[in-house]
Structure 1
Amino acid sequence: MHTTLFPLPDPTGTDEFAMSFTSTPRGARLARLFVSHCLDSWGHPYDSDVNETLTLITAELCANAVRHGRVPGRDFHVRLALGEENGRLRLEVSDTRAERRPVVTAAPDHDAESGRGLLLVTALADEWGVTDRRHGPGKTVWACLSASRRSAD
């Protein structure tokens, strides 16, 4: 028996996906899996450069939302959209901690256990930034990636 953990996106009629997730490591993991599945259904297979890259960016931004943006009892929100005019994918991760905005600093010491997430996002995304959350308190960290991106192989 096949069980689906979340509703599947409709690959024929939608160019946007949005959902709230619990501010827990499990919620971050489910968000990453759902974005990967959504990209696959939009024609970017799981092993494609676009899917792997945007899934990694999703993992980093969701982990930050859970670790640094968590407010007890509040979910974080993920939105993935395909730009109509330029074929760019835009990922948004929103949380309710407006006062904790991400900042890229110098690379951490080589033996540090954290501090590389936004460096990865900076290296992988075509562009990224942070804005005030559109609906409610908080912030939205967003990243854009070309949907036609090809692997360097």
Structure 2
Amino acid sequence: MAGANREHIGAVDLIDLAQICDAEGLDGLPYPFAETGRPGRHTANPQEPQMFSHRIGDDDLRAIRRWAQAYARADIWVECRVLYRATEAGDIPDTRISALRADQLGFCAVQRPHEDVVNVYELSPYELGSAVADSVPLIGPGGHLRISVPKYVG
């Protein structure tokens, strides 16, 4: 996100994020975040609720909870998942990004490649598009001549 002025407010494991989302009344993880399939890690088997509720007030998760609360009441969401094909340079991991605006707050969250961890950044609510575009490592033109959204095609 070179073009967007942002502040890293924390990182969260998907297991913790699933519990924060549950506490905020959200149904599952925010799109497009998903488990990478590492063995022995499943959000379906979270840690003890008492242990988690104690940690939710800790500084390391307080900022993440603020992001989740903003996600639940956001005015605008900009979400992006880019799937790459194998290239001559090798495999490029999927890119998963979610940005949002809630009132005068702006956040951008990026899942680390090949990890079940999401980095969360706070930024101006007017820089969401720039933050998402800067986070996607485009390597060249795609194979589609156009992209259409079925909802808007007449």
Q: TM-score scaled by structure 2?
A: 0.29
Q: Larger relative contact order (C-alpha < 8 A, sep ≥ 6)?
A: 2
Name which one, 1 or 2, has greater alpha-carbon Rg.
Answer: 2
